[in-house]
């Protein structure tokens, strides 16, 4: 065996992964390496932990809808929902959220039986006051329902692997509102899976960990109701132990029930994140049972405080020892070298069916700090906690973490490790475009890579807890995260949204979110809510906010709280409840009121202010609408940036939602108020749903990057501002306008330089310099003639960067470019393949909308196609799709376990086809880091 742990025998690992025993593989790998006498683990073989965290994503059966031959499923409703009037949600995004909890009263005269009393106890561990905890009633809802029964024959159900989004394949619907993305998310979905649990596991505790299921999940094992969790963005655990048949097959059944009118964007549908089976000794580290903080950090040393909650599920009281060692991690998440610090063993006495907390501290000498690139590095450590009982190791639990200091200065903004940094952030929803809500690590990584290339250093998880792996990626890549819990509290934004369960579940959901995420160095602040309706209620809204803030302080006093406010005024008591003032749109100006940063700064001289949501600039990639406004920002409208007939918005990047502002105007508002800590742009990527200003479309116009992952011009506007040291220049619009011969066609340039000269067919159109608070250079009177536009940008008087655009001829060929030509054969890794329509000289044909047909051979499949057009109703799995402004995308996945060459061909009538090959292999670097991703989170 090779002594380098990053190249442990791949075939062996592969086979073990197939057998779903990753934990053992990693543990054994480390043991094997240590035994081979390498210096990897100088402290000796890693103890083999009885803890197993097994991926159970594969081989599920799925069907939509409840059984038709059984009436008793009616008793499976979580709760009575208020009359489903299917009222369309038409409120303005910055409008007043209205309804409160009393409006959600039961409107039915003959209410069906509901099961919430059986579900609520699942959240008990997150309810602080024992008197408020729930007691499970007698009985077993689901008893009479065929799909719940262990012997039900699900052979005719669809075979699927998780993560799964049942709605993403469509079809799109043209009726109703566009808010939720026009895809069939509403309704019931059933999942079944057989779990073989060996007799040797008898006596262990067995848990099901669900990273996210949309929504209202109910879980049965072997026909017995186990529990569930309604909030679709939560990660949660149910204890299967009392229901397990050891030494046999166990039938796991999950029912989801997604309401209509429950979201302002596309929520997705199904078990859309990873799912794990966790087996532990009866005495083990509790659920998200470690909490690690670094209260003192200096170049010489860092103090590490660690609290470990140990559960005793056994029938006898136990004495246990808890010891921890700390190691450095490499960039792939692997332990390197010797332990750099350790916490001496702490001893606990834990009564039967109780828990106890061990708390200790240690020092890391000369800590390598975690911080965002390009000026800092996201260095990480891992705390390896070993729990022993009677001299035997009963659990080993890993907590990756980072050491860093944060300061939020009311006058100067954000400091990370003493360095001043502006938050150059974006808000993003959880969907992954054509893949829907079904989480995929590579797709998320691609999103973050593109954002980082733009200079983005911060993410806001609008408006709910993200997939856990997103935060792993943020830790690895060095993003600063505003981690957000809720979009609504008591007051609704859509008729069947989270407000229905807020009263019962806010404490459990918030504590669960905080405990899950509080060890991530990337998380720098907690947002308790986005534009919640309670902003409008003064005293009573402030009371709810205070309650939530107190919960945050109990769970994590190390990070500040915030809430994203588009309405609350400086004097509203609501505003004063949080530590950081997060303003949505109010900073640059909203509803005719000019920028309000100064008013908030004056009222809160001791709180940092930042733009929690900015811009809402709108555009469609490659669409240019004339005439072009001469302002730096304009509200989009019928004669202002809109192409109504085609439902597209101009990409001159000057137009915004009525309550928003162009990027340029936001930059100016921040520079004029230098105490502002930075911004989170609405949005980094386009998302499904909320297609303002054209409700008839399927997806948003607000992304800097379109839904398929193609850059809009706006990408370069941000890059120019956020990466001032990167020599770059970008011209817009494209230069293929046969119908504009002789017409004024403004040319704008985004550059990190300060000056530029524009040339049309070699003739100078003048050299221009950016004035203060100007972020683009514009030649608004250029008369179109075909040919070449070229810009030469300067910085401090020196030549800095160039760009050119050429007039294209007729479409002649297709150019096909995968983002990666080698992917891992794990059945999850992806290659994103871009297809460009070019003329015969290879120049991109900007308006091309040729219909492209994809064909694939070899060990791969086309998962989805897209073109970034918000008006396209082609279903995502289709292998045929029109190019949109010259571009089209196919997403290719390797078949699990099959190495080889995938060949993808793009064809279009009258155009030269092209084929690309993509290798799928186990022996790829990507594979290595995927292993690390999973290994990081093996508890
Ligand atoms: C904001 C809101 C976002 C989104 C956006 C639309 O007010 O917080 O969720 O709706 O408007 O541009």
Q: What is the pLDDT of residues 709-766, one digit of tens each?
A: 999 999 999 999 999 999 999 999 999 999 999 999 999 999 999 999 999 999 999 9
Distance 874 CA to ligand 1 centre (A): 26
Ligand 1 atom nearest to 531, measured from its CA: 8
3-state secondary structure 896-937: CCCCEEEEEEEECCCCECEEEEEEEECCCHHHHHHHHHHHHC
C-alpha–C-alpha distance, residues 255 and 152, integer Å: 15
Minimum mean pLDDT range among 29-33, 161-165, 639-643? 29-33
Categorize the per-residue pLDDT at 68 as very low, low, confident or very high, splitting at 50, 70 and 90.
confident
pLDDT single digits (tens) 626-635: 999 999 999 9
Distance 568 CA to ligand 1 centre (A): 15
Integer CA distances (angstroms), 283 to 206, 388, 823, in order = 12, 9, 40
- Verify whether ligand 1 is closer than 6 Å to residue 531 (CB atom): yes
pLDDT at residue 331, as a whole number: 85
Contact partners, residue 184, CB within 8 Å, separation at least 6:
166, 167, 170, 171, 173, 269
Categorize the per-residue pLDDT at 7 as very low, low, confident or very high, splitting at 50, 70 and 90.
very low
In DSSP terms, 756 is beta-bridged to 768, 793
Indicate if 469 belongs to the active site. no
Nearest CA to ligand 1 atom 2: 93
pLDDT(42) > 70? no
Mean pLDDT of the chain: 91
Distance 93 CA to ligand 1 centre (A): 5
Catalytic residue among 52, 484, 531, 874: 531
Distance 11 CA to ligand 1 centre (A): 48
C-alpha–C-alpha distance, residues 225 and 145, integer Å: 12
Closest CA to 870 of 736, 693, 676: 693
Show the DSSP H helices in 691-833 as ranges: 714-722
Nearest CA to ligand 1 atom 3: 93
Categorize the per-residue pLDDT at 108 as very low, low, confident or very high, splitting at 50, 70 and 90.
very low
Indicate if 531 belongs to the active site. yes
Please name the helix (run of DSSP H) or strand (run of DSSP E) that holds residue 548, with its range, or none.
Answer: helix 539-555
- Per-residue DSSP letter, 524: E
pLDDT(18) > 80? no
Higher pLDDT, 511 or 95: 511
- Verify whether ligand 1 is closer than 6 Å to residue 584 (CB atom): yes
- Verify whether ligand 1 is closer than 6 Å to residue 566 (CB atom): yes
Residue with tokens 């396209």: 872
In DSSP terms, 306 is beta-bridged to 292, 360
pLDDT at residue 83, as a whole number: 64
Residue with tokens 């008893």: 143
**What is the mean pLDDT of the segment spanning 904-911?**
98
Distance 434 CA to ligand 1 centre (A): 21
pLDDT at residue 869, as a whole number: 98
Compute the 3-state secondary structure of the chain and give helix, strand, coil in percent, each to the nearest 5.
20, 35, 45
pLDDT at residue 333, as a whole number: 85
Distance 656 CA to ligand 1 centre (A): 12
Categorize the per-residue pLDDT at 74 as very low, low, confident or very high, splitting at 50, 70 and 90.
low
Closest CA to 477 of 371, 406, 382: 371
pLDDT at residue 70, as a whole number: 59
pLDDT(860) > 80? yes
The SS3 assignment for 505 reads: helix
- Contact between 837 and 814 (Cβ < 8 Å): yes
Tokens of 195: 């779990």
- Verify whether ligand 1 is closer than 6 Å to residue 612 (CB atom): no
pLDDT single digits (tens) 384-429: 999 999 989 999 999 999 999 999 999 999 999 999 999 999 999 9
pLDDT at residue 89, as a whole number: 38
Tokens of 727: 């020599």
* pTM given for the model: 0.93
Categorize the per-residue pLDDT at 95 as very low, low, confident or very high, splitting at 50, 70 and 90.
low
Minimum mean pLDDT range among 63-77, 291-305, 862-876, 893-907? 63-77
- Verify whether ligand 1 is closer than 6 Å to residue 657 (CB atom): yes
Minimum mean pLDDT range among 42-56, 102-116, 198-212, 821-835? 102-116
C-alpha–C-alpha distance, residues 820 and 830, integer Å: 8
pLDDT at residue 776, as a whole number: 98
- Verify whether ligand 1 is closer than 6 Å to residue 94 (CB atom): yes
C-alpha–C-alpha distance, residues 892 and 874, integer Å: 18
Nearest CA to ligand 1 atom 11: 93
pLDDT single digits (tens) 644-682: 999 999 999 999 999 999 999 999 999 999 999 999 999
Task: Please state the φ and ψ torsions of residue 290, each to the nearest 5 degrees.
Answer: -115, 150
Nearest CA to ligand 1 atom 6: 93
Catalytic residue among 555, 613, 623, 642: 613
pLDDT single digits (tens) 186-196: 999 999 999 99
Percent of residues, the chain, with pLDDT higher than 90: 86
Ligand 1 atom nearest to 657, measured from its CA: 12
- Contact between 420 and 257 (Cβ < 8 Å): no
Distance 463 CA to ligand 1 centre (A): 10
pLDDT(581) > 60? yes
pLDDT(353) > 80? yes
pLDDT(937) > 70? no
Tokens of 375: 């000026």
- Verify whether ligand 1 is closer than 6 Å to residue 692 (CB atom): yes
Closest CA to 217 of 248, 239, 238: 238
């Amino acid at each position: 065996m090779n002594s380098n742990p990053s190249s442990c025998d791949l075939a062996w690992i592969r086979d073990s992964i197939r057998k779903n025993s990753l934990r053992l593989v990693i543990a054994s790998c480390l043991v094997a390496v240590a035994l081979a006498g390498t210096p990897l683990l100088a402290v000796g073989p890693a103890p083999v932990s009885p803890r197993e965290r097994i991926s159970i994503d594969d081989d599920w059966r799925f069907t939509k809808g409840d059984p038709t031959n059984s009436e008793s499923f009616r008793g499976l409703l979580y709760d009575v929902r208020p009359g489903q009037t299917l009222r369309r949600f038409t409120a303005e995004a910055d409008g007043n959220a209205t309804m409160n909890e009393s409006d959600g009263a039961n409107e039915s005269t003959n209410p069906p039986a509901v099961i919430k009393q059986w579900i609520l106890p699942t959240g008990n561990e997150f309810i602080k006051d024992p008197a408020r905890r729930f007691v499970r009633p007698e009985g077993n809802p689901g008893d009479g329902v065929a799909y719940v029964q262990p012997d039900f024959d699900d052979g005719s159900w669809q075979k699927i692997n998780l993560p799964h989004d049942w709605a993403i394949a469509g079809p799109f619907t043209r009726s109703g509102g566009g808010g939720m993305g026009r895809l069939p998310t509403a309704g019931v979905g059933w999942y079944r899976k057989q779990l073989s649990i060996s007799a040797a596991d008898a006596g262990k505790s067995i848990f099901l960990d669900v990273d996210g299921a949309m929504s209202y999940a109910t879980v049965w094992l072997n026909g017995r109701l186990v529990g569930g969790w309604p909030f679709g963005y939560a990660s949660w655990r149910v204890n299967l132990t009392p229901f397990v048949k050891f030494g046999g097959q166990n039938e796991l059944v999950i029912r989801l029930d997604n309401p209509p009118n429950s979201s302002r964007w596309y929520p997705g549908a199904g078990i859309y994140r990873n799912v794990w089976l966790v087996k532990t000794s009866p005495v083990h580290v509790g659920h998200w049972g470690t909490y690690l903080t670094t209260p003192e950090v200096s170049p010489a040393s860092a103090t590490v405080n660690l609290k470990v909650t140990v559960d005793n599920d056994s029938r006898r009281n136990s004495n246990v020892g808890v010891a921890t060692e700390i190691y450095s991690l490499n960039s792939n998440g692997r332990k390197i070298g010797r332990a750099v610090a350790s916490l001496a063993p702490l001893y606990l006495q834990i009564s039967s069916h109780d828990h106890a907390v061990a708390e200790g501290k240690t020092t890391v000498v000369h800590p390598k700090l975690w911080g965002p690139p390009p000026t800092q590095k996201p260095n990480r450590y891992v705390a390896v906690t070993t729990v022993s009982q009677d001299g035997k190791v009963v659990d080993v639990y890993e907590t990756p973490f980072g050491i860093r200091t944060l300061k939020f200065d009311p006058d100067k903004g954000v400091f990370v490790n003493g360095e001043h940094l502006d938050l150059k952030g974006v808000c993003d929803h959880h969907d992954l475009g054509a893949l829907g809500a079904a989480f995929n690590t590579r797709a998320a990584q691609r999103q973050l890579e593109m954002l980082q290339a733009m200079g983005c250093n911060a993410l806001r998880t609008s408006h709910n807890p993200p997939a856990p792996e997103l935060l792993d990626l943020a830790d690895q890549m060095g993003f600063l995260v505003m981690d957000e819990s809720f979009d609504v509290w008591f007051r609704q934004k859509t008729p069947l949204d989270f407000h229905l369960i807020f009263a019962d579940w806010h404490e459990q959901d918030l504590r669960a979110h905080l405990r899950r995420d509080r060890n991530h160095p990337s998380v720098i602040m907690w947002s308790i809510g986005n534009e919640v309706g309670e902003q409008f209620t003064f005293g009573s809204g402030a009371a709810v906010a205070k309650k939530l803030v107190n919960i945050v302080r109990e769970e994590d006093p190390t990070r500040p709280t915030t809430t994203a406010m588009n309405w609350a005024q400086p004097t509203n008591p609501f505003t004063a409840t949080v530590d950081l003032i997060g303003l949505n749109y109010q900073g640059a100006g909203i509803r005719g009121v000019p920028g309000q940063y100064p008013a908030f700064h004056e009222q809160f001289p001791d709180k940092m202010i930042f733009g929690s949501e900015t811009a809402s600039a709108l555009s469609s990639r490659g669409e240019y609408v004339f005439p072009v406004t001469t302002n730096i920002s304009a509200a989009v409208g019928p004669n202002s940036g809109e192409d109504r007939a085609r439902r597209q918005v101009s990409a001159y990047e000057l137009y915004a939602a009525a309550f928003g502002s162009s990027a340029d105007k936001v930059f100016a508002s921040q520079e004029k108020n230098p105490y502002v800590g930075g911004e989170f742009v609405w949005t980094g990527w386009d998302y499904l749903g909320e297609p303002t200003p054209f409700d008839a479309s399927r997806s948003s116009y607000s992304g800097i990057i379109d839904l398929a992952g193609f850059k809009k011009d706006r990408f370069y506007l941000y890059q120019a501002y956020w990466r001032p040291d990167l020599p770059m220049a970008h011209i817009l619009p494209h230069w293929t306008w046969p119908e504009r011969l002789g017409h004024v066609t403004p040319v704008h340039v985004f550059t990190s330089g300060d000056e530029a000269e524009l040339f049309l067919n070699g003739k100078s159109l003048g050299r221009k310099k950016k004035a203060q608070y100007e972020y683009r250079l514009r030649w608004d009177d250029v008369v179109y003639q075909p040919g070449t536009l070229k810009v030469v940008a300067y910085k401090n008087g020196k030549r800095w960067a160039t760009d050119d655009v050429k007039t294209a001829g007729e479409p002649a060929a297709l150019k096909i470019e995968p983002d990666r030509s080698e992917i891992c054969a794990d059945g999850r890794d992806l290659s994103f393949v871009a297809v460009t329509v070019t003329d015969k000289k290879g120049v991109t044909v900007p308006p091309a909308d040729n219909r492209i047909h994809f064909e694939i051979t070899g060990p791969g499949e086309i998962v989805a196609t897209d073109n970034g057009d918000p008006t396209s109703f082609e279903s995502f799995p289709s292998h045929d799709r029109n190019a949109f402004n010259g571009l089209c995308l196919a997403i290719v996945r390797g078949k699990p376990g099959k190495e080889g060459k995938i060949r993808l061909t793009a064809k279009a009538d009258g155009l030269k086809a092209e084929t690309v090959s993509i290798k799928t292999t186990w022996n790829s670097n990507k594979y290595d880091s995927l292993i690390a991703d999973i290994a990081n989170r093996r508890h």
